[in-house]
Each structure stands twice: as structure tokens, then as C-alpha cells.
Amino acid sequence: MNKKEERAKLLAEMKEMSEKASGEKRSFTDDEKKVFAEKEELFRSLSAQIEAEEREQKLNGFTGELPKGGEDNPKTAERKGFFRAEKRSGDTFLSLGTGDAPGSAYALAPEEFVKEILSEVEKEAILYGRVRKISVSGAGSLGVPYEKADASAAEWTNEIPSTEITSDKSLEYGKRELSPTDLVKQFTVTKKLLATSAFPIDTIAKGKIVEKLTEAFENGILNGTGENQPLGIFTKSDDGIPASRDVSTAGSSISADDLVNLKMKLRPAYRNKACWVMSTEILKDIMLLKDQNGRFLWQPALTEGQPSTILGLPVIESEYAPSAKTAGSYVVALGDFSHYWFASWKDMDITVLNEKFAGTNQIGFLGHTLADGQPTLPAAFARLAIKTASSSSGGTGGSDSGN
């Protein structure tokens, strides 16, 4: 039995104990409390171990892979062969080029390597994989039209209306703008490490750049301020997700009712495609919340590759989601991320800096791209915040499905 199966078994046992006591309309006995506490402690321990192992697997998954694709093209294979052959060639160490001859000291890595990095970013960053990605060519910015105010409801009339039909002036459209913003990352590796490494340098470079790109994209989508970076979903803004999309907890901690209220804040069309986003610390608190029938709201994934769920909706656990549980702080977001637009103006390029760090016996790698992103439809998102002293019970919006 693997750890996920053991965790699922523990959860089932805890659920059975809870349902038995609930069905008999009684509290746990002292012995049952002790057994339940032991199971709960083991459950949390297994969850922490699974989380640590999955993170390690994600990082280690890049160390033994070579870029794929394009090998059936003789020219591509030739270029990739040159890319690898040059990396240990004495004075021309890592003098890489995109053609048949060695490149300059600031040469770009082969195009096939660049495209592999982009695909790995999308594959590894779960949240980034859910947003709508748009490639922009030749424009200085991207205008995003949106519905600023909805029209009123249609009205039934007689065949010949008693009064002339009036035009609805409440419908209003606006435009948000995404602008190309530089995203860069530079790092150095010693020549000694590269010369003695058992792995090809292109794989090492790919792994590190993928890791940093993933962090930057995901952090921006969640927490970006919108100033020279994406606008995040946890950032209160009239250009993204305003305060009207917030729900406050009924008390000083998260309850099952709070999550139900947050889910019902979304209209059905958005709710059915939505996913939860939260930190590990917040997820730990939610894991053992139960509904009025004693059923756990959180259900672990029993099949590899499938997400765990809360109230039937998938959960994305992110280390960049807020974890503070202080009054007024955001703790959970729920949304249909196809309504978060992430625009890019160029593919990722990687510059190999052979000479810049020669005096310290190092090789540099510089990654660069131009991108921007923001939520484009507030109604597709909702956030849960810890109640403040001035918050009313049920929070802003409560269970209202909102616009």
C-alpha cells in the first residue's frame, strides 16, 4: 500500500468513526477521541510526506531528461549535435550557436531547446496551464474588452406596446490593457561543475530556468501588483478582481459554511469550471472540515494524476498562495481560470554567456521573455478573507451568486 492509499484508508476510517457517532447522536468516547487523534496525526504526517516527495520529484524530473522533438529532421539533429559537442571542447567551452558554425560569446541556444522549455513550463505549472494564453505579435499592448455593467432584464410586452420601447443605457463596455513586461533570470555555473557533471549542460540549464519561470509565472498570477508585472487574483483591484467578489468568514477561522458560501458566490457557468487555490497551511485546516452530515469536504485523489477535490471542485495547492490567517487576509480563491489572460510577446530566449564571467571560471545563462497577465472577468472569481472586527456575519456577498 503506497502513502496515498494509506492516507485514503485513514480518511475513510476517520469518516466511519465520525458517521457512527453522528448516527448514534453522541460525542466520541474518551477511547474514540484518542484513536481519532492518533489517526489524525498520522494523516497529517502522511500528507506532509506526500507533499515533500511530490515537490522533490518535480525538481528531480528535469535532471535526467534531454530535450525532445525535431530529431527526425536531419538539420535539427545536426544543430542539436553541435549544441552538445561544443560544450566540452576546450577553449570553445559552451560556444553555442544556432547555425552550423560556432556562435559568438553571446549566442542563443538552439530554437528546439527554447521550445522545449516553454512546453515544460506549461506542463509543470498547474495553475499556469489553466489560464488563457495569448501570443501577441507586433503590437505594443493588448486591449482586452470587457463588460463593465450588465444590461437589465428583458421585458414582456403586448403585441403593440402601450409605450415606445426604450433603449437600455445601463449596458457598458470598457477596455483593460496588457503591456509587454520583461521577465528575466540570470545564473552562473562553474566550469569545473560543468566539466565533471554526469549530465549534459543543456539539461541542467533547462531544469533551472524552468524552475524559476514556473515560480515567476505562478507568483504573478496569484500575487502580482499589476505594476511592471501581472495582476494577481489575490490583489484587490478594480482592474482585476474588486472587493465586491470577496466573502468574509463567519468567525476568526475557516468553516465548512464559509466554503459553501464562496462556492455559491459564482454563477453555475463559472462554478462548474472553477478550481480552488490555496496554500499548504490553509489546506491543512480545510482537510478535516465536515458538512452537516459529518462528511469531509476534502476528498483525496485516489487515481494518479487526478486532483483532490473540495465540495466536488479540484484543488490547486500553491506555495505562493497566502498562508497568513490574520483578520482581513485572503486565504482561499475560487475561479474559472480561463478568464485569466496571460499574454506573451515573444518566445523565451536563453543567452549563454561564455566570456562575461570568464574571470571567475564560470558560465552564465540569461533567460528573457516579455509577458503580462490579469483577470479579465471579475464574476468568474471569488475570494475568502478572514473576518475583521467590522465584517458582518456571512461576509461580503455571502452566498449571493453575484455579477
Q: What is the sign of the dihedral through the CA atoms of 44, 46, 51 and 56?
A: positive
C-alpha 368: how far from chain center: 20
3-state SS, residue 178 = strand
Which of residues 174 and 120 earns the better pLDDT score? 174
H helix or E strand, kind and range, residue 370 = strand 362-375
Give the tens place of pLDDT for each residue, 255-278: 999 999 999 999 999 999 999 999
Mean pLDDT, the chain, rounded, equals 77
Structural domains of the chain ordered from first start = 108-147+164-279+318-403 (3.30.2400.10)
Where would I find the H helices in 2-137?
3-23, 30-60, 74-85, 111-124, 126-130
- For 386-400, the pLDDT digits (tens) are 998 765 544 444 444
**DSSP states of 212-261:** HHHHHHHHHHHH-BSSSSPBPTTSB-TTSB-GGGEEE-SSSS--HHHHHH
Q: What is the pLDDT of residue 166?
A: 76
- Distance between CA atoms of residues 216 and 208, nearest Å: 13
Looking at the DSSP bridge assignments, the partners of residue 156 are none
Q: Cell for 74?
A: 536531419
First-residue to last-residue Cα distance in the chain: 47
Is it the case that residue 117 has pLDDT exceeding 70?
no
Per residue in 18-71, pLDDT (tens digit) is 778 777 878 888 888 888 888 888 888 888 788 777 666 654 443 333 333 334
- Residue bearing the bigger pLDDT, 118 or 31: 31
> What local confidence, expressed as pLDDT, does residue 351 receive?
82
pLDDT at 201: 66
Q: Is this model's pTM higher than 0.85 or not?
A: no
Q: Which residues contact 184 (CB under 8 A, 6 or more apart)?
A: 366, 367, 368
- pLDDT at position 4 is 83
Tens digit of each residue's pLDDT (9 = 90 or more) over 285-303: 999 898 888 889 998 887 7
Q: Between these two residues, 239 and 313, which has the higher pLDDT value?
A: 313
Determine the pLDDT at residue 23. 79
Residues near 383 by Cβ (< 8 Å), separated by ≥ 6? Answer: 233, 234, 241, 245, 246, 247, 262, 330, 332, 333, 334
Task: Please state, in angstroms and rounded to a whole number, the distance separating the CA atoms of residues 335 and 317.
Answer: 14
